Amino acid sequence: MKKLVFATNNAHKLSEVRSILAPHYEIISLAELNCFDDIPETAATLQGNALLKAEYIYKKFGVDCFADDTGLEVEALHGEPGVYSARYAGPANNAQANMQKLLQELGQNENRKACFRTVITLILGGEQFYFEGRINGRIATQPTGTAGFGYDPIFIPDGYLQSFAELGTEEKNKISHRALAVIKLTEYLQKNTEN
């Protein structure tokens, strides 16, 4: 089985991606690589942050790897929180505080349209490749559900009545922004790395 390093310290993301790529690739975490560095995410775009993380690992360890950055973009908030989604309410990366701030900023606004976007940067043999996944939906008026993480309890994908947190991991992994980006990554890897 081929090995790929996923440049993340987020256990939820790691678990999601492993379940999607499971039969094809062994995904190595940063901890398994003995990398406990705080990799900077200082770019102004999702693609920029994904590239920063992947380049950091590739340059330091010389291994094929990929990294992602994900943002929730709310139409009525002019695309916020976007690239700042994880630290919207401050540097603590507190999901509850982030959701509370978002709901407060949105208030009673009737335009609840939003989308989740994930950009993956893959570095394979020194070359960079990008894959994007996007899912449209709306922001609920209050959190519901206990599965998932981040903004999942307040994001209702188009075509559904339940939040990501109510749908559960298996269903979310079929339709989510990250799943769509990972599927594109998988298809690319299967076409271009099979011997």
Q: Does pLDDT of 126 surpass 70?
A: yes
Q: How confident is the model at residue 168 (pLDDT cuts 50, 70, 90)?
A: confident
pLDDT of residue 31: 93
In three-state secondary structure terms, 58 is helix
**β-pairing, 25-28 with 155-157?**
unpaired
Give the chain's mean pLDDT.
92
pLDDT at 194: 59
The pLDDT assigned to 41 comes to 87
Cα(195)–Cα(131) distance, rounded to whole angstroms? 22
Residue recorded with tokens 């922004």: 177
Q: How far is CA 92 from CA 17, 88, 113, 136, 163, in A?
A: 24, 9, 26, 27, 24
pLDDT exceeds 80 at position 24: no
How far is the C-alpha of 69 from the C-alpha of 82, rounded, in Å?
A: 10
Find out whether the peptide bond into 153 is cis, omega within 30 degrees of 0. Answer: no
Please check the confidence at residue 195 and state whether its pLDDT lies above 60: no
pLDDT value of residue 85: 95
Q: 149: Cβ–Cβ under 8 A, 6 or more apart, which residues?
A: 12, 95
pLDDT of residue 93: 83
Phi, psi of 186 (to 5 degrees): -60, -45
What was the pLDDT predicted at 191? 85
Cα–Cα distances (Å) from 125 to 56, 119, 139, in that order, read 14, 19, 40
Token duo for residue 166: 């109510």
Q: Check whether 1 has a pLDDT greater than 70.
A: no
Statement: residue 192 has pLDDT above 90: no
Q: Which residues contact 56 (CB under 8 A, 6 or more apart)?
A: 7, 37, 39, 40
What residues act catalytically?
A: 69
User: First-to-last CA distance in the chain?
Assistant: 12
pTM of the model: 0.89
Of 43-47, 97-101, 154-158, 169-173, which range is least confident? 169-173
More confident residue, 24 or 134: 134
Q: Which residues pair with 99 in a beta bridge?
A: none
